[in-house]
Amino acid sequence: MARVVKVLRLDGPFVLGTLGLIGIVALWQVLVWTGAINPFIASSPERVVREFGVLWSSGQLTSALGASGIEFAVALGLSLAVGCIAGVAMYASTAVEFAFDPIVWFVYSAPIVTLYPLLIIWFGLGRPAAIATGFLLGVVPIVVNTRAGLQSTDRHLLRAVRSFGASERFALLHVVVPHSLPLIVAGVRLAVGRVMIGVVVGEMFGANQGFGYLIAYYGSVVKATDVMVALCTLVVAGIAITQTVWLFEQWCGRWRVRA
């Protein structure tokens, strides 16, 4: 109960944040009404809501959600699988770490979208190229954070359980994994954003479904309102996914003692 009151406090982050969001939308609408911005190229909240209904009932949004959702899920799933295995391998063996460190950092820092034209040539337009771009962008933060998480395990804790006779398995399950999980999940959260960029960019060029396609298509026929509808849906989906991962991250770190 006390938590509910805290969330609903008038000067709390939740209420004020919602107010801020409403304020921005209202400002947008007012600017359109007063004629300060042209609704033809900047749309307006009113038009977006109306057009949202149209696009939703025509099935375009649901099919885009389905198409982009599958690409996103496959790219993130691949990033998770490859990223975790590579991260564990780099943690477990110094030789593996030294071997792949330069490549990992290069892929992390260099703008990987430059590979996109090559990916199109190799995998074909549309879905495969979008998945490959999302994967390449998403895998590196997971590798880096998995390794960093495992390496950050408190040595004293490890030595403590070992001196009490714990097996390697016990130490792994009860010390290393709980200790590193929050950082690993933080890597996944970073990856979510990057995979989304990859998938959307992949769909903007040459796909025939998904949010990137909707946005590029409606942009090319100068229908700003429809672009905004697709964008807003994408934003809501992005926030939902990121917040879910963030909640999981908090849950993984719940054993931590608050300082």
Instruction: Please give the residue ranges that form the binding site for another protein (CB under 8 A).
Output: 11-13, 16-21, 23-24, 41-42, 92-95, 98-103, 105-106, 108-118, 120-122, 193, 196-197, 200-201, 204-205, 211-212, 215-216, 218-220, 222, 224, 227-228, 230-231, 234-235, 238-239, 242
Is the separation of the CB atoms in 160 and 231 below 8 Å?
A: no
Q: Which residue has the tokens 């390697």?
A: 168
84 or 204: CB nearest another protein: 204
Residue 116 CB, shortest distance to another protein, in Å, is: 8
Q: Which is nearer to another protein, 101 or 154 (CB)?
A: 101
| Rounded-to-integer distance, Cα 133 and Cα 198, Å | 5
Report yes or no: 141 and 108 within 8 Å, Cβ to Cβ.
Answer: yes
Four-point Cα dihedral 132, 120, 200, 60, nearest 10: -110
- The Cα–Cα gap between 73 and 86 comes to 19
| Residue closer to another protein, measured from CB, 12 or 59 | 12
CB of 192 to another protein, least distance (A): 8
Answer for the pair 141, 187: CB distance below 8 angstroms, yes or no: yes
Compare residues 80 and 195 and give the one whose CB is closer to another protein: 195
26: amino acid identity, one letter: A
Phi/psi-derived region of residue 53, left when phi > 0, alpha when psi is between -120 and 50, beta in every other case: alpha
| C-beta of 85 vs 235, nearer to another protein | 235
Output 16 or 30, the one with its CB closest to another protein. Answer: 16
Q: Report, in Å, the least distance between residue 28 CB and another protein.
A: 11
Are 64 and 212 within 8 A, CB to CB? no
Rounded CA-CA distance 41/71 in Å is: 30
How many residues can be counted in the chain? Answer: 259
Query: What's the gap between Cα 233 and its chain centre?
Result: 15
| Minimal distance, residue 189 CB to another protein, in Å | 10
Give the nearest distance from C-beta 24 to another protein in angstroms. Answer: 6
Taking the complex as a whole, the smallest distance from the CB of residue 179 to another protein amounts, in Å, to: 19
Based on its alpha-carbon atoms, the radius of gyration of the chain, rounded to whole angstroms, reads 23
What separation, in Å, do the N-terminal and C-terminal C-alpha atoms of the chain show?
24
CB of 84 to another protein, least distance (A): 19
